Amino acid sequence: MEPTYNIKEIAIKTIAEEEKTISQLKKYIDGDFVNTVELILESKGRVVVTGIGKSANIATKIVATLNSTGTPSMFMHAADAIHGDLGMIMPDDIIICISKSGNTPEIKVLAPLIKNVGNTLVGMVAGLDSFLAKQSDYVLKAVADKEACPNNLAPTNSTTAQLVIGDALAVSLLEMRQFTSQDFAKFHPGGALGKKLYLRVSDLYGKDLPPKVSEQETIRPIILEISSKRMGATAVVNENNKLIGIITDGDLRRMLEQNKDVSHLLAKDIMSKNPKTIDSDALAINAFHLMESNNITQLAVIQDEKYVGMVHLHDILKEGIV
């Protein structure tokens, strides 16, 4: 008879096992961890993170996190290191070697080589009595008593512990460097994350012939302006190009519903006064939040108290920042 499995129970048990491992890591944040952070902060070199197997995969993630938060880092595979890649290490570099057991053959070859070159070696290891732990100048204790795998074989808890210690290291460095969201944007110019931090309204609105009419404009030109500019609205401006109102598709529909004869109506009779506006230098994500909170789809853009254009919700969505 085939055994039956409760998939939800297996998943929940796995999460609980890893949660327990993470919780226990707090007691291993010690002087070696603090010294490692201070050493990296003072270093003129890079952080070179190395490992083998699943630890190598974790190493690449830690490198990516460090690089994106202001700590120059690079990955070096432990197996490749003992076959020539040690040449990439510079004198001021700090080496973080990741290994669960700390006793793999590659680590036993690599650790003494790093020490002989003269670089500081930081071991991130679960085996605190291991070869790597004894060879290291400092030990980051990514302790995992067992794996979530029922056979206690597949790296699960151990790699999660490594990941969490790596994040703790990166965030400690980030805060010590007083790394700001503006700094973060410099390293994330692409994608939604970067655009939230640097994309501005001025990058979005059409600067050529923005939709606008005078307050004395009649119905037909108003409709043509809204239709031709494809913004679903037009600004109403005075002779000094200052915004005095806005006319949307909705305003036109309401006007037609309320008036049998519209030929006498002017822009000033139809427009909504005191429309929501956004400065051209404002972040695009702020424009989105303003539209969202007011349940509108366009904003008039203001620069030096003058109307310069209009930004539509679709312009922001097209950029993929939300």
Percent of the chain having pLDDT more than 70?
95
Q: Is residue 39 part of a domain?
A: yes
The stretch 1-10 carries a mean pLDDT of: 84
Whether residues 209 and 142 fall in one domain: no
Whether residues 215 and 143 fall in one domain: no
- Identify whether the C-beta of residue 179 lies closer than 8 Å to the C-beta of residue 185: no
* Model pLDDT, residue 180: 72
Percent of the chain having pLDDT more than 90?
68
Q: List pLDDT tens digits, range 158-190.
A: 999 999 999 999 999 999 988 776 666 666 555
* Model pLDDT, residue 318: 85
- Separation between Cα atoms, residue 142 and residue 127, nearest integer Å: 9
Give the residue numbers spanning the domain of 31: 7-179
The stretch 297-313 carries a mean pLDDT of: 93
Whether residues 155 and 276 fall in one domain: no
- CATH for 42: 3.40.50.10490
Whether residues 207 and 106 fall in one domain: no
Q: List pLDDT tens digits, range 242-289.
A: 999 999 988 888 888 887 788 888 999 989 998 999 999 999 999 999
Nearest residue to 35 (alpha-carbon basis) of 103, 100, 94: 94
- Separation between Cα atoms, residue 119 and residue 94, nearest integer Å: 6
- Separation between Cα atoms, residue 268 and residue 3, nearest integer Å: 76
- Identify whether the C-beta of residue 97 lies closer than 8 Å to the C-beta of residue 136: yes
- Separation between Cα atoms, residue 277 and residue 301, nearest integer Å: 6
Structure tokens belonging to residue 125:
């290891």
Q: How many domains does the chain have?
A: 2
What's at 167, amino acid-wise? D
- Separation between Cα atoms, residue 105 and residue 103, nearest integer Å: 6
Whether residues 229 and 150 fall in one domain: no
